[in-house]
Amino acid sequence: MTHPLHAILAAAALSLLPSTLLPLTLTGDPPSLPQQPQPDPKTPPSRPQPPPPVILTQPLPVRFRLADGVRVTGQLTQWDRDGIDGSFGPRMWTELQYEDLWRLARRLIDRDSPAHWIDLGRALLLTAIDQPNAERRAEQAFRLALSLDPDAEAAILAVRDEAAAARERRRQIAAAARAHLLVTRAPESVDWPPDPWPPLDPQQRRDALQTVRADAANALQRAGLLLQPVETDFFLCYSDAPRDDLAKWALQLDRLYALLANRFNIPPADNIFWGKTVVFVFTQRDRFVLVEAEAFNQLVPRFVTGLCHPVGPKVFINLHRHHDDDRFNDALTRAAVHAFLHRYRSPRRLPPWANEGIAAYYASVMHLNSFIDSARRDQALRYIRNAGDINAVLAYKYPDDAFPPPDAPARAVGSLLVELMIREQPDRFLAFVNAVKEGKNWPQALKDDFAASPSQLIRTFTHYHRVND
């Protein structure tokens, strides 16, 4: 069954990055705020929105190749200027082999529409960043647009500028990767001590907030942006998306914090963060990737849409505003849970099955019955009912030199396991978390504080889910 389809946010015209990228200072001492041009106090106008996606009245059988040669077959149900969607999941036009992009798009567009030919040329120019021969097809699309409307030259020029900006950002990212030898392991894989976080007095809190504000301003410079935050009691949220969207995400984060504070026995008004957690949301993936490289020295795989970065006592969340609402909301929630867990009691990490499982569990609570929630649950149930090795899931460790693959069962099975533990023994589950945070190894904490050995927990878990969804 395919997931519910959502409107796809269009990429707006991309601004060129500054020619010089200054290093981001992320230290524990409050630096002076960087000198920047004074922003207009008024909210910047929203970018013009493109036409809504075209939803087909009947699914269209399609076959196409991805740029890496993988062949895809399925039912296409929706398309727009950025990509396609259907039984095969959302795919950007730029992921397709350019000749298959050309062939498939011509089946979908209105060939009497200059705008459709320009959008096809745009997709092909962006594809040409990785597949240079696609530029020939882009020029063909532009010629067809001009034959229908000689006044289309201005729109074509804007598309050319957008592709040039995207190419420049790609160059910047490649240069950053060469210069910094970017880290490829997940931030959550770093070992942290069980030493408790020291309490902050009011002046230390003010200094901490000044520091994270300055760090955020420096990071935004990497993407050539000057943004004003939406600020809550716990989060500083920055985005190049419309202000209303940013306010909605900030409210969502506050609701999540209230839920976590309640479950972890923290007074709801208490801020456990050092200053506040900084949240970046970029509508363009290249900006997300560039900030990862320049601010956090991180290289992210294509399938990653959001990360939580602990930097000492500070926490930064960086996300790409993926066009799929379910995927974006899931990434935002899981990253925020990781931020909370980093600052809860001590930075000591829970075992990966619990660390990822808690994040995915609360994403499920916040977005019940979303496509991502349903797919993750189905993945876990299939693993259990096909005699998957739960011992291997509990023994799983973060890879030393890479991110966990998206089909790894640790997150899905961990989420279902955490759900059962919280539902059956919420107080004991919290005691288990606290014991690990204080330095106890997790199997001993499970036995002492949850009153179950790993083997007992596995037996109960597998028996329950072989007959219950």
Give the per-residue pLDDT at 39. Answer: 43
- Tell whether 191 and 148 lie within a shared domain: no
Say if 178 falls within a structural domain. Answer: no
Residue 402 lies in a domain: yes
First to last CA, the chain: 17
CA 34 to CA 459: how far, in whole Å?
57
Tokens encoding 201: 């007095």
E strands, 89-247, are: 91-92, 230-231, 235-239
Let me know whether 320 and 208 are in one domain. Answer: yes
309 in the same domain as 201: yes
The Cα 153–Cα 413 span in angstroms is 54
Both tokens of 127, joined, read 């594809």
- Supply the pLDDT for residue 179: 59
Residue 49 pLDDT: 59
Asked if residue 199 and residue 323 are part of one domain, the reply reads: yes
Q: Which domain holds residue 455?
A: 350-469
Tell me: do 338 and 355 sit in the same domain. Answer: no
Domain boundary among 343, 378, 395: 343
Specify burial of residue 405 (Cβ count, 10 A radius: 0-12, 13-18, 19+).
exposed
List all residues 6 or more positions away from 284 whose beta carbon is below 8 Å from its beta carbon.
Answer: 11, 14, 240, 320
Q: Write down which residue in 288, 320, 343 finishes a domain.
A: 343
CB atoms within 10 A of CB 177: 14
Q: Is residue 278 part of a domain?
A: yes
Kindly give, in sequence order, each residue whose CB lies less than 8 Å from that of residue 101, ignoring residues fewer than 6 positions away.
Answer: 64, 93, 123, 124, 127, 134, 137
Q: How far is CA 52 from CA 61, 126, 127, 224, 456, in A?
A: 22, 20, 22, 28, 52
Q: What is the pTM of this model?
A: 0.68
Q: Is residue 38 part of a domain?
A: no
Q: Dihedrals φ, ψ of 283, to 5°?
A: -75, -20
Residue 218 lies in a domain: yes
Query: Is residue 456 domain-shared with residue 423, that is, in the same domain?
Result: yes
Assess if residue 299 is contained within a domain. Answer: yes
CA-based torsion, 455, 460, 462, 463: positive or negative = positive
- Model pLDDT for residues 127-180, shown as the tens digit of each residue: 998 899 999 999 999 999 999 999 999 999 999 999 998 888 877 777 766 655
Calpha distance 413→10 (Å, rounded): 34
Angle, vertex CA 8, rays to CA 5 and CA 10, nearest 5: 170
Based on the fold, state whether residues 234 and 265 are members of the same structural domain: yes
- With contact defined as beta carbons under 8 Å apart, do 106 and 117 qualify? no
Give yes or no for a contact between 100 and 64, defined as CB atoms under 8 angstroms apart: yes
432 is a domain residue: yes
Return the structure tokens found at 210. 């000044």
Are residues 447 and 306 located together in one domain of the fold? no
Q: In sequence order, which residues have a C-beta less than 8 Å from that of residue 84 and are 6 or more positions away?
A: 62, 76, 78, 90, 91, 93, 104
Q: Is 61 exposed, middle or buried (0-12, 13-18, 19+ CB in 10 A)?
A: exposed
Judgement on whether residues 339 and 359 belong to the same structural domain of the protein: no
Residue 454: exposure state from Cβ atoms within 10 A (0-12, 13-18, ≥19): middle
Contacts of 70 (CB under 8 A, 6+ apart): none
Question: Does a structural domain hold residue 301?
Answer: yes
Which domain CATH number covers 319? Answer: 3.40.30.160
Cβ neighbours for 206, distance < 8 A, ≥ 6 positions apart: none
What DSSP string runs through 93-128?
GGGB-HHHHHHHHHHHS-TT-HHHHHHHHHHHHHHT
Q: For residue 302, count other CB atoms closer than 10 A to its CB.
A: 8
End residue of a domain, out of 316, 343, 370: 343
pLDDT < 50 regions, the chain: 1-47
Q: Hey, how many other C-beta atoms are within 10 angstroms of the C-beta on 50?
A: 16
Q: How many domains does the chain have?
A: 3
12 Rama class: left (phi>0) / alpha (psi -120 to 50) / beta:
beta
C-alpha dist (Å) from residue 233 to 28, 85, 179, 251, 253: 21, 38, 37, 11, 10
Residue 64: beta bridge partners? 72
Reported as a single tens digit per residue, the pLDDT across 373-425 is: 999 999 999 999 999 999 999 999 988 777 887 778 889 999 999 999 999 99
219 in Cβ contact with 291 (< 8 Å) = yes
Whether residue 308 is found in the same domain as residue 399: no
Same domain, 64 and 98: yes
Shared-domain flag, residues 226 and 334 = yes
